[in-house]
Every structure is written in C-alpha cells, then in structure tokens.
Structure 1
Amino acid sequence: MQHAHTGGPPNTLAPRDTSLWFNLEVSAQRFAQKTAIAFFGHALTFQALHAQATALAGWLQQAAGVKKGDRVLLYMQNCPQFIAACYAILRADAVVVPVNPMNKAEEFRHYVVDSGARVAICSADIAGACVCPDLPSGDGLTHVLVTQYNDALPTGGTDAPPAWLTVTHPLPQGAGLTVTHWADALAARYEPAPHTAGPDDMAVLPYTSGTTGFPKGCIHTHRSVMHNTVGSSIWSDCRAESVVLSVLPLFHVSGMQHGMHAPIYSGATIVMLPRWDRQRAAQLIARFGITHWMGNPTMVIDFLASPDVDTLDLSSLRHIGGGGAAMPEAVAQRLKARLGLNYLEGYGLSETMAATHNNPAGAPRQQCLGLPTFNTAARIVDPETLAALPANTVGEIIVAGPQVFQGYWRQPEATRAAFVELDGLRFFRTGDLGRMDETGYYFMTDRLKRMINASGFKVWPAEVENLLYQHPDVHEACVIGTRDPYRGESVKAVVVLKADAQGKTSAEDIIQWARQNMAAYKCPRVVAFADALPKSSAGKVLWRELQDRENAPAAAIAMPPPNAP
C-alpha cells in the first residue's frame, strides 16, 4: 500500500527475523573492500570493521566475562571505535548501553548502578569517570576497555584532525578494576562463541530522563531497532551507493540509527565528524560526495552561515533531515534556495528508537512532524479520558508500532503508566501535545511532560535540580526553560541560597560549578535568585507558575495592542 500523499514508500514493512549483527556480517561479505567509515584520512573497510568487532566480541566474552544479556556501557564521542564496539557488544549477545560522553562522573554512576553493567568501553579522555570506588558492594565495573581517539588516526595522514583527537591520555586506575587498552584487546585475537542473539532478545538500552529526574533505560530488542534501521533506509533512500555524514551523536537514538545502523544495513559509506564544525562539514560534503545528512536545525542554521556554503560544490546532497526542534521557515527557505532541498523533519523518542513520524520527500511540510512511518499507528487523544480527538484538535500524541520499546528497565510502574491499550493495540503515551490535520500530517504544539529542548538536546529539569542541590550553597532550586534565539530554549535556574551564602555566592559561581558537575547542554545559562519558591499547599514547588512568568514577557510582546487592526 502506498502513502496517498506521495505515491512513495509503502505503509508497511515485512519484519526482519535477524539480529543487528547480521547486518554487518552481510555488508562485510557483500562489500568487503568498500569503505565503511572514513575518518580524517583513515578508511576502514567493511571487512576490517567486521574483523575488529569480532575480535572485541571475543575479548568481551573471554577476558571480561560478558554473558548473553549482560549490559555493556559504551561511553565515547563519535569515532570508528564507537561503531566497532557497538557491533562487538551485539556480536557477544550482550546489550549496548550508550552513555552521553558529556556526562560527568556523578551522572555516569547512575548508569553503572541502574544498568547493572560490569563492563564499559570508553575513550581515555573520560575514562576516569569509570572509576567509582564508593559504590555499594556488588555494584560497579570490573573491566574497562579504553581507546585513545588517535587509535583510529592514520600515521602520517594528510588530513589534519582537531588537536583534541591527537592527545594521548593516561589510563585510569582503580582497585578491583581491570583496564585494557583497545589495541591490546584487538591484538589478543580472541574468538567469540557462536552468535545466538535473536530478534526478540534485548539489544540496546538507551536512557531517557523523566519528570522524576533520574534517567530510565528503554528496553529495545533487535527487532525494534531493526524496524527503524530498515525503515529509515527506505524512507531516505539510503543505499550502498550513498555516502552518509555521521555527525549527530551516536549515543543518541537518532544518531545511532541514521549515522550507524542504517548505513551499515545498506552498505553505505559513513563519513564521521565527531563534533559539529560547519567548515569541515562543508568540506567533507564536497570531498566525499556526501548524499545524506541528518542534522538538527541548529546545525543547519550554522551551516548556512558558513562562507564555504557558497564556494564549495555541495551538489551531491540528496537528503537533509532531522528533528529535535522545529526548523524555522526562513532557514528552510534559505536551504531550499541554496541547495534545492527541503529539510525533512521527523519525530521520535528514545522509547521509539527514533522515528515514529517523518515527512515524505515528495510532499513535505515545514514545522511539521510528518506522517506515521511504516507499520505505525498514531492518534491524538484527550490526555485525561484517552478519547480520540477530531482533526485539528490538540491532544496527546500516542503511537503504536514495531519500533516502540518493551518498557522501562526495572521500572514496572513507569512502564504501566507509559502504555494504554486501545482497540487491541498497545499505544505508548509520548507525553507530547500535538494535532493532526485533515490530511493526516501531525504537528507539535506543546509538551505534556516537563522538558526543555536546547538545540535538540532534551534537558529534564528535575535531573538538573537534583544536581544543583549538591551545591553547598543551594537551599532550593527550580529549573525552567528560557527563550534563546539560537538554541530555541536554554536552561534557567531559579535558586534560593542558604542564609550564610546570600550576598556572597553569585549567579556566575553557580554557573561555573554547574559546568564542572554536569553535561554542558544541561548547565543553566541563566541563574536568578529568589527569596522563596512558589509552592502548593502540599509543599510542591509550582514550577509551572515560574515557567509562565518566564514566558509572559515574550507572550506580551507578541500580542497586538487592544483594538489593533
């Protein structure tokens, strides 16, 4: 069946009954000497990537004692080692637990304890966070595999990588912690046991935060990840002849799907850029003939401001898309005028392993979530009664499909609250408010959940508050969103200082402390002091009241004066 709007991709996909590892195995045989990953002058073939992942899987099983279903933390920025490690974990029948490399030690601890992981694969620059000596007995890591980013750089290469990639960092040391260097694990050439993971075994456990403030693991099977891997390849027409710019963070489900799993499934070449750099991105597009780029609106805004956009040949680009925030219409028009391409927006969550909705290339809408993707049912319902709502009526977006997660790791109550059964389908309650128009396109209008969207990064206020409460001078804190012309939203903290800190601790002191103790995108950009926080009769902080006050000035400016024409 074809989408009525486009005559394009079918509405349904046949299920795949293999593990994700099988995708690399097939591409390594089909395209053995083809470049799988290009990274600052280093070309890693599919055959070589397969060999690395196989050897590391052997190390995981034989040296680190990883068994089927064990969780393994993957903690590094975008680099070839991330992909090799991810597929090694899958080859070992274990579960990939991707961790944001911006997380500090205190944040990392939660992943260790909650996932029950005993093994981590990480980069040397952040490996110190893996040493957690004061965890409860029985918790904590026993083995850490550490790579230097320069392990993936060619000797005497002509491409000058950023300086931070070339630095060699000392390996961590900790009591009871066995630390192994990447090169040594590869050189050991351990042979893994036969691969036994099937489509319904757990494959990936990405963490998402909630209003409780503590990240929750989303249980995804090989089948749920595979569905969107195949679906995104078809929807974006990614094939073996494609060249994909992988710049979205691979620890995030969108980057993982579009920058790793889909191109490996398709046999496409991945050109990696560890951190966003508009000049390098433009140069890579021209040099490698990049065809596919998934990036957030903030990247596109920055990209179009680069002088290289007008001097380099970018005609190879065929697909630009992303999500995380609405693309401003003026920027979308500039992109269309310069490159002749529409920015194709989509919508998804960690719980759905990226997309549940996408805009079709043949009939896209701007500032729109798009149409439900393959095998996906979506509805707009009343958040209280769960009754279906008519077109153009705002309600909660709920989704059902093969890409929807199984539930939250070790959180049965949260899992029960996240799902509702309607007409025999198990729908996930996204917590996002939106509407559907008469033609079936979905639009976001607001968030039911309490969340700040900073350049596509989801910031959960309660998590930031929990960290701020560790500051010795903070008595109370409430985190809200504040408008930001570049990032869309930024984090603002309303803080009540302890009595002996009032008049001594400055807003900048709080901000600097936050930068040392939490990921940069979570850090408050603005700190305001208050004598007290507004509270309900039950003592609950009325964060919505503070948020409404923050939004009020902008809303007042936007409203026309009385009796205006």
Structure 2
Amino acid sequence: MNLSQILSQHAQNTPHKIALITAQGQTTYQELEQMSDSMAHLLQAKGVKRGSRVLLLLPISPELYAALAAVWKLAGVAVVIDPGAGIPNFRHGVRATRPEVFMGISKSHLLRLLSAELRQVPVHISTGFVPFTTRWAQQPCTAIEAAQVDADTPALITFTSGSTSKPKAAARSHGFLLAQNQALQHTLQLEPEGIHLCTLAVVTLTVLAAGGTALIPDAKLARPGFIQPEPVLKQLQKHQPLTVTASPAFVERLAEKGKLPFRRIYVGGAPVFPYQLELFKQQSSAEIYSVYGSTEAEPIAEQAHSQILPEDFEHMRSGKGLLTGIPVPEIQLRILPDQHGQPFAYQTRAAFENATLPPMQVGEIVVTGNHVLKSYLDPSGNTETKWTDEQGQTWHRTGDAGCLDAQGRLWLLGRCGARVDDLYPFSVEVAAQNHPAVKRAALTAHQGQKVLWVQWKGPEDPSGLAEMLSWANLTEIRSLKAIPLDRRHNAKVDYNRLPRT
C-alpha cells in the first residue's frame, strides 16, 4: 500500500470532510481525490509510468498533495528540491535526480532562466499560464486506481539541508513513508477530528494520512523566521486549530505578537532553546513539545516542556547541552565515540555494541529504525554516514554530538564537526542564551582560539556574561549584528558563514 491509497480511502469514507484549509479556501477529501485523478491522467498522457521521476515545485497547498498522490498512483517517484537553498544547490539537485517531468506553479518556471538543467527536463507542466508549457487545469475524469507497489518501491526524493556539505539526495521508499507516517502520528498524537496548523510538508502529509484537517498558514513558509504574524493569528482566531507543528522561529514570531490558542505545540527542525520554551509557555496554555530529528530520521526524540525539571534547566545553563527527551519507540539509538571525519570503525555488531558509551558520556548519536534512511540516491554518500551490520540492519550516523542521561533522555550538544577544542557548540550557546541581553550565540574557532559570537536583543550589554561562562575558558566574546542562520528553518546557526577574523 502507498499513501495515495490511504487518501483515496478517506475520499470514499469521508468525501465531504475538509482536508486542507488555505487562505484561498477549503478543499475536501473528495475534491483532493478528483484533483489527483485529473493530474494523474495528464501525467500518464505525458509518459509518466512506474519509476518515472517527476519534479514538483509547488508550495504546501492542495495542488502539492494532489500531485504527490497522482505520481504515486502511477508508481512514479516525486522529486522535491527547495529553490530557497540557493541556485547552485537547486541546479545540483536537478542534475542528481534527472527528472523526466517538471510540474510547478507559474512563478517556478522562471527558474528555467537560471538553470540549464531545468530547461533540459523533457516535459514542463504549469498549474497556471506559462507560454510554451502544458497547463494543468482540472477537468472531469475517471478515477485512476493506484498501481501496486511493495515496501521497497521508490516514492520520494528530497534533499538534506546542505548546511555542512553539498545537499545529498534522500531517496524514500513507500515502506519508509508509511513507517515515518506511523512514527509521526504517534509522536504528534494526531487526532483525526481536529484541525492542525501545518508548516512542514511531511507533517501536512501525516495529517492527511490520518484523515485530519490541515490548516496552511497565510505566510511565506520559505522564511519561517521572518513571517508576518498578523494574518496567521487571524487564521488561528477563526479556525482554532488543536495543534501546530513548526520551526521554533515560526512559533516565536507568533508568540511575540499574540496569544497562541493551541492545545499542543510541537517545535522541531532546529534546536529549541529554553528561552523559546518559556516564551511559548507565557503566551499559551498548551502542552509544548520539542521534537528532535533530521532529514534522514524524523522523528528521533521528543521532550515535553512540563517534564523538564528545575535541575534540568540548571544543567542547560551550566554547559550540559540541550535536553531533547526520550527517543521515540520506533527508533533505536546509541552513543558512540566521536569519530567525525573518519570511516565507521566497526566490522561486527558485537564490536559496535561494545563501543557504545554509557550514560553521561558524550559521543556521536547513531540511530536505526524503519523510518531511518537506509541509503542516499547516490550510494557514495553512504560511506561516511551508514553502516549495515551482519544481520542487515542499517545504522545512520547523525553527525550530532550528545549523551544519554541516567533516565534515558537524550542531551544534544550540536554538530560533531563544530566542536572547538574540548567544547561542543551547544554547551556554550545554550548557556549563553540564559543571559537576559543575549538573543543568539555561536561558538567558533579562530587560530586555535575559542570565540563566542553574540547577537544582542537590544543595546550591547555583556555585563556578567564572561563570568557566567567562565567554565568554558573562552578566549574572546565578540558582538555580531546578526548571526547567520540556515535558510530552511531560520533557526540553526550557519557556522560556515560566521566571520573568520
């Protein structure tokens, strides 16, 4: 079974239930299914068949999910590349996947001017009017029954963020998507009868698979940390969604401007710092959860704000890192010695388990599970990050440093590759953000020295900061107007763009 069949079942069982709410209107499950069939007929006429790759440049919208279902009905492979990652990375993505069909909104076709790779895609389809391009417009049509697929049939290709290296193509099978959907439904406690504010494409898909209603915010989701909150707050007042799942930067923008009417708030995709959790708590009576994961494994761990103890906050202030909670039941997690930049050192599962670090010792976080990516599209990318034991179980090296405490909770310390001498970045950055004048902090190295860059909330006020961080033995604390952040979530420090002098 694939997810398109699940959506078709919802269209049969609850045809008039609202699937998606956007600023433009509402779409029922029946309407989503009819849209999907219409797209599938067009794609089929354009030669899409089992294994065909279809590049989709569509925002989170009814058209995106209808297109995904249409591709999967034909046993094709959907390709999603984020243009916001920059034109060089976008061109790399098209080269790596070599799609046979490109389908996008009118604006996305302007990328053909900047990408020879995109111009070379044989078939171009637009959801609006674009000269010399096939236009999709919904028309009455017969239903298309989904092709039979097995768990290993390719379904979706997306890309890693590329924040530490060139983006890798993550190839997901139908079995992977179903396992991820199950893990996310459990982690997010999805209630089919509720409305859920969704800012992340994978979460929207999970809501639809559960038969719920997804509310798409009236905002530019490509820059979640810079949204205009007022239109979204109006949507919240009107629709009263039960939950939100979003980048911490997105929820922070809303919380700075108004009360949050949710029953539960899930923040992830980037580190969720204590000051953000406190802000969300002040602005809402919701249960608040931080979710840790990555492109290759989402989710990995979850932490309820209500279960963070005063001593946990004290540990975060004193350099232990960032508490991210208990690993989800669907995943196995180990902490291994940090061997960043080196090949995986273990030849047998016994050697692997013997190397596992005990609680309170910091190393690299390694995971396995049905929703953990087993291979990149280009298998050469597996060499440093994947290891398969003699039983065929594949483990993924996250590249993140952390440790488990005596209660089995995971503490995150940042990227292994961002370590400065004996310090991992989160040990200092999380502690620094406890200073009342610090908005954001970033630890880096310069000529063997430990430098902490600080972005202030207002006027520069370093009083007491050096004393707070005396245990870190910093060489210098420097001010920066704005600490560079990742483009996808606007919440993770982009260490490569920090000043080098």
Pairing partner for 2:401 from 428, 433, 457: 433
SS at match of 2:402: strand
Shift of 1:445: 0.5
Shift of 1:69: 1.6
Alpha-carbon displacement from aligned partner over 1:204-233 (angstroms, at most 9, x marks no partner): 111115588432111211111211212222
Are 2:334 and 1:372 equivalent residues in the alignment? no
Aligned residue for 2:35? 52
Aligned residue for 2:274? 329
Aligned residue for 1:296? 247
Distance in 2, matches of 1:562 and 1:551, equals 10
Aligned residue for 2:469? 559
Shift of 1:347: 1.2
Q: Which amino acid aligns with 2:135?
A: H
Pairing partner for 1:263 from 200, 204, 207: 207
Aligned residue for 1:152? none
Structure 1 pair 32–436 and aligned structure 2 pair: CA distance change class (3 A): same
Identity %: 21
Distance in 2, matches of 1:380 and 1:341, equals 32
SS at match of 1:305: helix
Structure 1 pair 556–486 and aligned structure 2 pair: CA distance change class (3 A): closer
SS at match of 1:431: strand
CA RMSD of aligned residues (A): 3.2
Aligned residue for 1:356? 300
Structure 1 pair 380–423 and aligned structure 2 pair: CA distance change class (3 A): farther
Alignment of 1:386-401 (within 5 A): 387-401=355-369
Shift of 1:320: 0.5
Aligned residue for 2:159? 207
Shift of 1:379: 0.7
Pairing partner for 2:337 from 370, 379, 382: 382
Retained in 1: the 8 A contact 2:42–2:136? Answer: no
Structure 1 pair 129–432 and aligned structure 2 pair: CA distance change class (3 A): same
Shift of 1:140: 2.6
Retained in 2: the 8 A contact 1:122–1:146? Answer: yes
Are 2:93 and 1:91 equivalent residues in the alignment? no
Shift of 1:243: 0.5
Aligned residue for 2:489? none
Are 2:289 and 1:344 equivalent residues in the alignment? yes
Alignment of 1:243-254 (within 5 A): 243-247=195-199
Shift of 1:257: 2.3
SS at match of 2:384: helix
Q: Which amino acid aligns with 1:72?
A: V
Are 2:110 and 1:143 equivalent residues in the alignment? no
Retained in 1: the 8 A contact 2:287–2:304? Answer: no
Distance in 2, matches of 1:27 and 1:140, equals 38
Structure 1 pair 375–559 and aligned structure 2 pair: CA distance change class (3 A): closer
TM-score normalized by the length of structure 1: 0.67
Alpha-carbon displacement from aligned partner over 1:479-515 (angstroms, at most 9, x marks no partner): xxxxx9657669xxxxxxxxxxxxxxxxxxxxxxxxx
Distance in 2, matches of 1:562 and 1:146, equals 55
Retained in 1: the 8 A contact 2:89–2:167? Answer: no
Structure 1 pair 292–489 and aligned structure 2 pair: CA distance change class (3 A): farther
SS at match of 2:272: coil
Shift of 1:245: 0.8
SS at match of 2:380: helix
Shift of 1:549: 5.7
Pairing partner for 1:414 from 362, 365, 381: 381
Structure 1 pair 547–305 and aligned structure 2 pair: CA distance change class (3 A): farther
Distance in 2, matches of 1:435 and 1:199, equals 33
SS at match of 1:404: coil
Alignment of 1:157-236 (within 5 A): 171=130, 173=132, 179-183=133-137, 186-187=138-139, 189=141, 192=144, 194-209=146-161, 213-236=165-188
Shift of 1:278: 1.7
Distance in 2, matches of 1:432 and 1:107, equals 23
Shift of 1:196: 2.1
Aligned residue for 1:7? none
Retained in 2: the 8 A contact 1:230–1:265? Answer: no
Q: Which amino acid aligns with 1:439?
A: Q
TM-score normalized by the length of structure 2: 0.74
Are 2:216 and 1:272 equivalent residues in the alignment? yes
Are 2:11 and 1:28 equivalent residues in the alignment? yes
Structure 1 pair 66–212 and aligned structure 2 pair: CA distance change class (3 A): farther
Retained in 1: the 8 A contact 2:34–2:143? Answer: no
Structure 1 pair 291–212 and aligned structure 2 pair: CA distance change class (3 A): closer
Q: Which amino acid aligns with 1:331?
A: Q
SS at match of 2:283: helix
- Structure 2 portions without partners, runs of 5+: 221-226, 314-321, 340-344, 346-351, 420-436, 455-461, 474-501
Structure 1 pair 361–269 and aligned structure 2 pair: CA distance change class (3 A): farther
Deviates more, 1:388-397 or 1:93-102: 93-102
Q: Which amino acid aligns with 1:224?
A: F
Distance in 1, matches of 2:9 and 2:265, equals 27
Retained in 1: the 8 A contact 2:124–2:134? Answer: yes
Retained in 2: the 8 A contact 1:58–1:92? Answer: no
Q: Which amino acid aligns with 1:318?
A: R
Distance in 1, matches of 2:472 and 2:174, equals 58
Retained in 1: the 8 A contact 2:85–2:161? Answer: no
Q: Which amino acid aligns with 2:91?
A: R
Distance in 2, matches of 1:562 and 1:131, equals 50
Shift of 1:105: 4.5
Structure 1 pair 33–548 and aligned structure 2 pair: CA distance change class (3 A): farther
Distance in 2, matches of 1:549 and 1:92, equals 55
Structure 1 pair 547–325 and aligned structure 2 pair: CA distance change class (3 A): farther
Structure 1 pair 130–326 and aligned structure 2 pair: CA distance change class (3 A): same
Distance in 2, matches of 1:193 and 1:267, equals 19
Retained in 2: the 8 A contact 1:58–1:193? Answer: no
Number of residue pairs aligned between Structure 1 and Structure 2: 415
